[in-house]
Amino acid sequence: MAQENVLEKENEMAQEGFEPRILGFFCHWCCYAAADSAGVSRYQYPPNVRVIRVMCTGRIDTRFILEAFRCGADGVFTGG
């Protein structure tokens, strides 16, 4: 029991310091523009997302998402 608790604690601690690697696919007209405008307004958000600009979310192929996870993404954010 005690052993498990310690493990759980350790796990939690690891999670706290965990910085996920997230890939973003942003639509040029919408989400990418919103992200630019967030910059202009100096809003702050976590620095975990790397962005690939596409002209529209319709461009996103199933293969892209699968490949992103294969390349070690902990999450994929598609923004239209």
Partner 1 sequence: MAETCKQFLADCGINPDRLTLEWASAAEAPRFVELITGYVNRIKEKGETGTAEGEADSATIRRRLKAAVKAAEARKPRSALGMLAKKLHKDGEYTKEAIAKGVSSKIVPALRAERIKEEIMLLLKEGPMDIDALCSALSAKKEEVEKPLSQLQKKGVVEEQDGKFKLKGK
Partner 2 sequence: MCTMYCPRPVVDTYNERLDITRAPHIDYAQAIPSSYYIDAKACLRVNYETCNLCAQTCTAGAIDFTQQPKELDLSVGAVVLAPGFGRVDEKVLEKFGYGRYPDVLTSFEFERLTCASGPSEGHIVRPSDNKPPKRIAFLQCIGSRDETCGNGYCSSVCCMYAIKEASVAKEHEPDLDISIFFMDVRTMGKGFDDARKRAQEKYGINVIRARVPRVDQVDGKLALTWTTGDGEHHSGLFDMVVLSVGLESPEDADLISRVADIELNHYNFCRTSVDAPLVSSRNGVLVAGAFQGPKDIPESVTQASGAAAIASELLADARNSQTVTVTYPDEDKALEEEEPRIGVFVCHCGVNIAGVVDVKAVRDYAGTLPGVVLYEDTLYSCSQDALKSIAEKIKENRLNRVVISACSPRTHEPLFQETLRSIGLNPALVEMANIRDQCAWVHAQEPEKATEKAKDLVRMAVAKARLLAPLEQPTVDVTPSALVIGGGAAGMSAALSIADQGYKVVLVEKGRSLGGNLKRLTWTLDGQDASRVLKDMVKKVKAHKNIEVLTSAQVESVSGYVGNFTSTISKGSKTQMINHGVIVLATGGREYKPKGYAYGDSTRVVTQLELEEKLSRGKGFLRNAKNVVMIQCVGSRGDDMTHCSRLCCTQAVKNALKLKEAKPEVNVFVFYRDMRTYGFYEDLYREARKKGVKFIRYTPDRKPEVIKLSRGIKVRAHDELIGDDIEIPASLVVLSTGIEPGDNEELSKIIKAPLTSDGFFLEAHAKLRPVEVAVDGVYLCGLAHGPKSLEESVAQAKAAAAKATIPLAKGKVAVAPIVSKVNQDLCIGCGICESLCPFNAITLEKVGKRKKAHTITASCKGCGICASHCPTIAISMGGFTDEAIMAQIHAFSPEGCEEE
Interface with partner 1 (CB under 8 A), residue from 45, 50, 55, 56: 45
Q: Which is nearer to partner 1, 2 or 44 (CB)?
A: 44
- CA 80, CA 16: separation in Å to the nearest integer? 30
Q: Do residues 79 and 57 lie in contact, with contact meaning Cβ atoms separated by under 8 Å?
A: yes
Report the nearest approach of partner 1 to the CB of residue 18 (Å). 6
Which has the closest alpha carbon to 20: 49, 42, 54, 60? 49
Return the residue matching tokens 């461009």: 59
State the residues that interact with partner 1 by CB under 8 A: 14-15, 18-20, 22, 24, 29-31, 33-35, 37-38, 40-41, 43-46, 48-49, 57-58, 60-63, 65-67, 69-70, 72-80
